[in-house]
């Protein structure tokens, strides 16, 4: 394996690449990671991949996400400055994402938030999540903490353990017509909606998914229907992210997600995981979700997830659920 470290300017170009250059940049990242990531290199070798034949993103091998539970998935040799760990119980093996440069993650979620919602300082940001001091290895909680800091609003903060105070805060914010974002795990939002139904006119509700072990499983449509009814809203927003990624996709309603420019969804065949489904005018690909996250420059940017999904012609996508063989996981377990 060629362990020479090249393309050291790649991290600088991830968030500034021109529109239309995604494929060429992704192929460049693929070769960089093939040459500098032992785990990914060995995986490609096992598949007998001819690197010279990988000339389009559909030909790039996608690393099964379970490798983050069993291997050190790192590109270039480094001691991690941060380790993100997936939520779980004592019976589960958690994924670990070893981070070389936390600044890349912060640039990713800050740039993405600005693209979808504008500057954080325009918002009061409230997190119905464990605080960062309680769960200092959660990428979701770190993102929420940093966005709360950037908002600089005196009532921004974590409110998981005091829903009465959260209700009083939302009432005050609504009376002041303050633009507010309430981001939370699904089970906590449902509990809050049942205990404190109210009309929200200046607040966006954003759910991050997850109810495993806390409430009866429900579809996203069922969850959103309850939240819309109890908060008198037209739409519920959603965030799609995971421990193994350094980027997020957002939905502003109906469970339809959009990615930032440095992230892309592909759909693989469930029966043939090495086959990428192609979009046609009369067909919407449906199957297992593959993700290209160029912000994962120092881990692996090409991840075969355990989610099922559907990809639309405008590159938006829908998450249909988990594949049948998937482990129990989810941000809701943060509160266990």
**SS3 sequence of 65-86:** CCHHHHCCCCCCCCCCCEEEEC
pTM, 2 dp: 0.90
d(CA 290, CA 307): 9
Q: Which residues pair with 158 in a beta bridge?
A: 127
> Helix, strand, or coil here: 43?
helix
pLDDT of residue 210: 66
Cβ within 8 Å of residue 308, ≥6 positions away: 270, 286, 287, 288, 289, 319, 320, 321, 322, 323
Question: In tens digits, what is the pLDDT along the chain, a chain of 336 residues?
Answer: 544 445 668 888 999 877 779 999 999 999 999 999 999 999 999 999 999 999 999 999 999 999 999 999 999 999 999 999 987 655 678 899 999 999 999 999 999 999 999 999 999 999 998 755 567 799 999 999 999 999 999 999 998 788 999 999 999 999 999 999 999 988 899 999 999 999 999 999 999 986 554 556 678 889 999 999 999 999 999 999 999 999 999 999 999 999 999 999 999 988 888 888 886 655 788 999 999 999 999 999 999 999 999 999 999 999 998 887 654 444 444 433
d(CA 302, CA 93): 21
pLDDT of residue 272: 82
d(CA 330, CA 336): 11
d(CA 277, CA 286): 8
pLDDT of residue 332: 41
d(CA 250, CA 267): 18
d(CA 220, CA 304): 22
User: Which H or E run contains 167?
Assistant: helix 163-175
Rg (CA), the chain: 20
Handedness of CA 93, 95, 100, 102 (dihedral sign): negative
d(CA 333, CA 251): 22
Cβ-in-10-Å burial (0-12, 13-18, 19+) of 111 comes to middle
Q: Which residues pair with 290 in a beta bridge?
A: 266, 304
Total residue length of the chain: 336
pLDDT of residue 172: 98
In this structure, are residues 130 and 335 in contact, taking their beta carbons and an 8 Å threshold? yes
pLDDT of residue 170: 97
Beta strand 180-184 with 124-128 is parallel
């Amino acid at each position: 394996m060629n362990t020479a470290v090249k393309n050291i300017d790649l991290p600088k170009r991830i968030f500034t690449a021109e529109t239309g250059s995604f494929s060429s940049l992704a192929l460049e990242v693929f070769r960089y990671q093939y040459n500098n990531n032992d785990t990914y290199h060995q995986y490609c070798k096992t598949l007998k991949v001819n690197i010279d034949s990988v000339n389009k993103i559909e030909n790039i091998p996608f690393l099964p996400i379970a490798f983050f539970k069993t291997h050190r998935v790192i590109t270039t040799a480094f001691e991690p400055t941060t380790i993100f760990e997936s939520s779980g119980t004592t019976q589960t093996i958690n994924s670990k994402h070893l981070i070389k440069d936390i600044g890349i993650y912060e640039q990713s979620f800050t740039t993405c938030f600005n693209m979808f919602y504008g500057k954080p300082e325009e918002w009061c940001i409230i997190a119905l999540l464990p605080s960062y001091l309680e769960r200092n290895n959660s990428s979701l909680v770190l993102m929420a903490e940093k966005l709360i800091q950037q908002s600089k609003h005196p009532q921004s903060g974590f409110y998981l353990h005091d829903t009465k105070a959260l209700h009083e805060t939302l009432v005050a914010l609504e009376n002041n017509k303050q633009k507010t974002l309430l981001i939370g795990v699904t089970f906590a939002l449902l509990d809050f909606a049942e205990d404190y139904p109210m009309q929200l006119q200046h607040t966006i509700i954003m759910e991050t998914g997850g109810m495993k072990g806390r409430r009866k499983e429900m579809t996203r449509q069922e969850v959103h229907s309850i939240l819309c009814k109890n908060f008198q809203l037209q739409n519920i927003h959603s965030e799609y992210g995971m421990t193994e990624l350094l980027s997020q996709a957002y939905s502003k309603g109906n469970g339809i997600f959009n990615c930032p420019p440095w992230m892309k969804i592909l759909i693989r065949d469930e029966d043939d995981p090495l086959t990428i489904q192609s979009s046609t005018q009369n067909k919407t690909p449906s199957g297992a979700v593959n993700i290209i996250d160029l912000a994962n420059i120092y881990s692996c940017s090409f991840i075969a997830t355990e989610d099922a999904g559907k990809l639309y012609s405008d590159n938006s996508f829908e998450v249909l659920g988990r594949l049948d063989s998937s482990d129990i996981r989810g941000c809701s377990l943060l509160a266990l």
